Chain A
């Protein structure tokens, strides 16, 4: 029906405030709620906040008093919510039965602490009862609390959208669809990015003095020289393991010496370049994304554009060019170390002396194997560099997106490198090299 709110003194902006309850710090009181017909307590005890004198008590036959005690705050209301709402439901039900509107008194005089969450719960209960037709009367002696209740009552939270709780199946389908759309969009824009890169590169090729050589050399050092130890060590170990595994198989039919062929074809043609590309994707592809992403997030890229500098020219070309130059070098080192590892393993496990290994190796090695391996390197470098830089430019504002896109850059670069490697295998097979 309606809510009656006793008028209260409007507190001034300064000075008049509800003091924080000192007990609140020492562990709150248990909240309490008693609900009784007004007849039991209406006589004298309940004179304090009654609006409009005593008229109400006479006109309405059915009165309820809700007496709230203790702390009604965010830490304690969960225990009371169901109880309060049950009492409310009782009142609401009574509204329908009785002809006249029941009167409900909400007595907050005994409340030791009331915060926004508590106020919210009380207001909700009151609104429910009022909507059902009850006459709700508040008794709030404290002006600060009255003001808090007033403020809470004035705010409509129904317009705030809620997170929709959808079924896991739908969510999964949704995620699949969304990722398809995203990948499609990304594939399109990465091709666009590659095109922009090639145009800028062509422009730079016409005027090579416009290339930033200092920057290129810096990135050659970062992505190339500094990657030598890890590339060398890992390919050495893989060569070692390949030779061990191979020697075990070949020994079964007495063809130990073919271990050298295995090393030659696997390392030179596939493993050397592929491992190097994977290591570099993890090392440099990720750092491209992180560097450029941090610059985008920090508005450095915008600053650059506003100064008339082309980020493609300043940031992307040096990185990609450096990588394209260095990956073949790293691949060569990887080939060498892989063969070295293989040689040592065959010496140790099969007793093939280094001299015999070298002779056999030179005898069987086809230049084509070495070249097909090396030829793939610049293409892999292009993939890694373009994906890394592209993802860097996709960063939007938050630090979180830098991390997410860095991961994505590495995964995508590795994926594309392996796919491209398969493509090369088919190409070389059909070419007969």
Chain B
């Protein structure tokens, strides 16, 4: 039961006019995992994220998050789910008229009845947890650097201790040191808070450093999903280029040297070990079909 998918997408189709972005797309996210979502530019990663969040209604298909049908459920049920997820948009999406600490307190104000002092305490804790300097609390978003805005956005996403966190390109636009620190932060918070994380990323280092599994969005569906080791065995030109191109090789080399390569992730329980392999085989089967 504990390993039932926390998010499950079935048969999703997204079309913009005559352009089909997704067709018959399936995806499962297991509780407690960090799932990376990769795909070329324009492959519809952000559209998929918006679909999961219920910001966009797909033409076909079902989205279930934490057991709630996001598309057809009534507003009360959807509200209840929204309280249990946190979203970090690309540039933080902080409210520009509020200070950082006020931004972090927004969900607390909306969804809890904590007294003001306790809200300040909880928000201050999250501010420090994501590694922001104390002085950042009273600054406005326009006074922050891009990296600090992302951290503040993450603090806001985490303030309710959600079950699921969605990250849209969390490390894009950060310097390598900042990006590595952000990766470590996500891994750390995941371990401490038991988060499930879905992250869109282009950053190979992030994939190796924090992702348990990686889902590849290609050919209008989730083409393959599995550990990086499994994906390396999938025969697809884009994937091959992605992982074995010059940047991919460097990232893989670094990951091996530093000793926490993603594809050697310990298998936790039968279901977790089983599902990715199954999906990867399915994907490999798909490739075989096309070849014949």
Contacts and interface: CB of A to CB of B under 8 A. Distances in A.
B129 A19 contact: no
Interface stretch (A42-50, A103-111, A394-402): A394-402
Given A15-B265, A116-B126, A157 B96 contact: no
B257 interface: no
B32 A161 contact: no
Contacts of A25: 66-67, 84, 163
Contacts of A120: 121-122, 125
B76 interface: no
A238 to B, nearest CB: 37
Interface in B233-287: 260, 265-266, 268
Given A13-B260, A14-B265, A163-B101, A398 B125 contact: no
Contacts of B84: 24-25
Contacts of B266: 12, 14-15
Contacts of A159: 134
Contacts of B67: 25
A163 B138 contact: yes
Nearest to A16: B191
Given A15-B266, A18-B194, A117-B161, A160 B142 contact: no
Interface in B106-143: 108, 111-115, 118, 120-122, 124-129, 134-135, 137-138, 140-142
Contact of B129 (A78, A155, A400): A155
Interface stretch (A131-139, A143-151, A327-335): A143-151
Contacts of B291: none
A347 B258 CA distance: 93
B265 A78 contact: no
A20 interface: yes
Given A157-B121, A157-B124, A159-B134, A115 B161 contact: yes
Contacts of B204: none
B142 A155 contact: no
Given A17-B190, A396-B142, A155 B125 contact: yes
B14 interface: no
Contacts of B190: 17
Interface string A150-190: 01100111011111000000000000000000000000000
A17 B265 contact: no
Contacts of A22: 1-2
B103 interface: no
B70 to A, nearest CB: 14
B192 A148 contact: yes
Interface string A384-418: 00000000000011111100000000000000000
B196 interface: yes
B191 A17 contact: yes
A115 B193 contact: yes
Contact of B125 (A19, A20, A157): A157
Interface in A363-379: none
B128 A116 contact: no
A162 B116 CA distance: 11
Interface in B189-236: 190-196, 212
Contact of B142 (A117, A156, A398): A398
Given A78-B114, A155-B129, A161-B135, A13 B99 contact: no
A12 B266 CA distance: 10
Contacts of B125: 116-117, 120, 152, 155, 157
A192 interface: no
Nearest to B135: A161
Contacts of A399: 96
Interface in A2-29: 11-20, 22, 24-25
A116 B129 contact: yes
Interface string B14-36: 00000000000000000110000
A19 B32 contact: yes
Contacts of B195: 17, 20
Given A144-B194, A160-B137, A75 B112 contact: yes
Interface in B66-118: 66-67, 84, 96-97, 99, 101-102, 108, 111-115, 118
Contact of B191 (A11, A73, A78, A116): A11
B179 interface: no
Contacts of A298: none
Q: Which 9 A-B pairs have the closest CB atoms?
A: A115-B161, A18-B194, A397-B142, A398-B96, A157-B124, A160-B124, A400-B96, A398-B142, A159-B134
17 contacts: A14-B260, A16-B191, A19-B31, A19-B32, A20-B32, A25-B163, A75-B111, A77-B118, A78-B113, A78-B118, A81-B115, A116-B129, A121-B118, A151-B129, A160-B127, A162-B137, A398-B141
Given A12-B266, A161-B135, A397-B142, 11 more contacts: A20-B196, A25-B67, A25-B163, A117-B125, A147-B192, A151-B188, A159-B134, A160-B127, A163-B102, A163-B120, A398-B142
Interface of A: 11-20, 22, 24-25, 73-75, 77-78, 81, 115-117, 120-121, 124, 144, 147-148, 151-152, 155-157, 159-163, 396-401
